[in-house]
Structure 1
Amino acid sequence: MKHEYAEPFYSHCTGGSAAPRLTISSHKNSSGEPVWYLGGDLATEGANADPDQLIAKAQREVAELLPWIDFGQCQWRTLQLDRGEPLQSALLRPDSAFVGPVEGVDNALVAWPTKLSLSPNLADEVDIALQQRNVIPGPATDLTALEDLGRPGIAETYWDSVFT
């Protein structure tokens, strides 16, 4: 949802289930315009919904949960995302960040928090994984050999791809 409110806003709106009814995170597009990503049950339950129906539901949700905000000038879009989560038993959502070895690659770990609220746990899990491998903090490594690799470009954000 693209809007005109400059102040960032982050929220979990709870409901009757263990998952948040609505999660809101603030972002900016490449022009600096504010965009809210709406997640939680709204996104999970709406993953296969018709975009117009999902937008209508999102409009009802934010109007009910944030009645003091005027959403009349907002632009609404949907986007399709795949969850990045490790395989779980019983199809449950992970309750900790994922850190694991990269198959076929020595001295490499792959790590992601699976959701933003697990970012502090991710730091703890990486620390544990490094300690288990006897990697201890020390002076900065000389990385000049990597300079020839160049730097990758910055990818287009979802917000820029849907609000063109």
Structure 2
Amino acid sequence: MDMDVVVIGGGVAGLWLLDALHRKGYRCVLLEAHQLGSGQTVASQGILHGGMKYTLSNLIDPGAKAVAQMPLIWRDCLAGKGQPDLSQTKLRADFCHLWRTGSARSRFGMTGARMVLRVKPTEIPKADWPQALSGLHGQVYNLPEQVIDTASFIANLAALHKDRLLKIDADNGLTFERNTSGNVSTIKLTHNDQSLTLAPKQVVLTAGKGNATLRRMLGLDEQTMQIRPLHMVMVKGNLPTLNGHCTDFSQTRITVTSAIANDGQTVWTVGGQVSEDGVKMAPEELVKHAKSEVLAVVPNVDLSNALWSTYRVDRAELKTSSGRRPEGVTLMCDGNVITAWPTKLVLAPQLADDVIKQIAMQPTGEPVCIDNWPRPDVALPPWELVESWMELD
């Protein structure tokens, strides 16, 4: 079956790209080996960053410039005014709160962030502070960074393209054939007693950490990718809603987002510096550290009956000489194979634009119809996968 583009990897990057390709008339499908959004997307906190966290230590950080335009694009899509139509995506919060520790260094970092951001934080009166921050001394700001339910976002995009999504067995049911010039000529899929052969003009890898394995299968250098791990913390209980960042000069001390679990309890996901420091910690050690940090920056919250857990997630990116985060979207081109990493969830629209510019071929405009092939499900959020929660004294 002839294809203009085959996308491999069904997270935010792959699904946004699939939507953009389809709207431009490309004959395209997306292949997913696990669940849509598994890996990084559904595990992310869902904050549509506008660059604040990248301005705290360096006012001309290119990372801040790269994301500055993105929240406005997402906002239109979430309101049903842009493409893709994300009006069915659940919005956890329309903005984040931003607060700081009492240090002079922290005040300097906050001032810098307000100077450089396109969407600037504004101070809010104490009467409007969220309940969780009522015990603070200092200022609380409103930062127009929306927070999305990442699983519902994935489900929203998947529903728009269910006929173009194919579940694959990457270990035993995926074979690439390359022609004499090194381009991918066919992709052979097998599932039970079924088989399907795709003949793509272009292949795009958007599988995050899985890009390394796919590149190895294609005979390409897999050492072009770096992994930056995080160890995230989850707190569940009778907690107030809180979405935001506590900054301490050049770092985000903690980032908290709130969701409602299937059992009706509130779950806080805690990231920021806590999740960086936690990489080398065991879960028990990390939750004790995280509790101490949360109580230090959210002093009035009651954690006495809270339940705790952690999960690890790897941020997959193009390798940099410093090992630090790339400045923005990164693409690698090898014949008719593009390997793509968005670097941040919010940069998915930019990745789609960059890939389509790189493809530079006319779309065929022919619809795709593949019946009787398994379709991938949407991944569950991390707190629905916990088998045993921890209690702390």
TM range (shorter): 0.7 to 0.9
| TM-score for both structures, normalised by structure 1 | 0.73
Partner of residue 372, structure 2: 148
Could you list the per-position Cα deviations for residues 44-99 of structure 1 after superposition, in whole angstroms to 9, with x for gaps in the alignment? Answer: 11111132221111111111111232222211112233222221221112231344
Aligned residues: 154
Paired residue secondary structure (1:45): helix
Within the alignment, does 1:58 sit opposite 2:290 as a pair? Answer: yes
The one-letter code matched in structure 2 to 1:122 is: A
Q: State the Cα RMSD in Å.
A: 3.0
* Rg larger for: 2
The one-letter code matched in structure 1 to 2:376 is: P
Runs of 5+ consecutive residues of structure 2 not aligned to the other structure: 1-234, 389-393
2:326/2:343 contact within 8 Å kept: yes
Runs of 5+ consecutive residues of structure 1 not aligned to the other structure: none
Aligned with 1:157 (options 366, 381, 390): 381
The one-letter code matched in structure 1 to 2:360 is: N
Partner of residue 247, structure 2: 14
| TM-score for both structures, normalised by structure 2 | 0.34
Partner of residue 89, structure 1: 321
Percent identical: 29
Instruction: Select the structure with the greater relative contact order (CA < 8 A; seq sep ≥ 6).
Output: 2
Could you list the per-position Cα deviations for residues 7-29 of structure 1 after superposition, in whole angstroms to 9, with x for gaps in the alignment? Answer: 4x322221133x42112233444
TM-aligned CA deviation for residue 150 of structure 1: 2.8
Separation in 1, partners of 2:259, 2:338: 28
TM-aligned CA deviation for residue 138 of structure 1: 10
Residues 155 and 126 from structure 1, CA distance in 2 versus in 1: closer, same or farther, beyond 3 angstroms? closer
The one-letter code matched in structure 1 to 2:343 is: T
Within the alignment, does 1:124 sit opposite 2:358 as a pair? Answer: no
2:237/2:265 contact within 8 Å kept: yes
Please give the residue correspondences for 1:25-44 in structure 2 after superposition, counting only pairs within 5 Å. Answer: 25-44=257-276
Moved over 4 A (4+): 108-112, 135-139
- Structure 1 window deviating more from structure 2 (41-50 vs 70-79): it is 70-79
Partner of residue 115, structure 1: 344
1:29/1:157 contact within 8 Å kept: no
Paired residue secondary structure (2:245): strand
Within the alignment, does 1:5 sit opposite 2:239 as a pair? Answer: yes
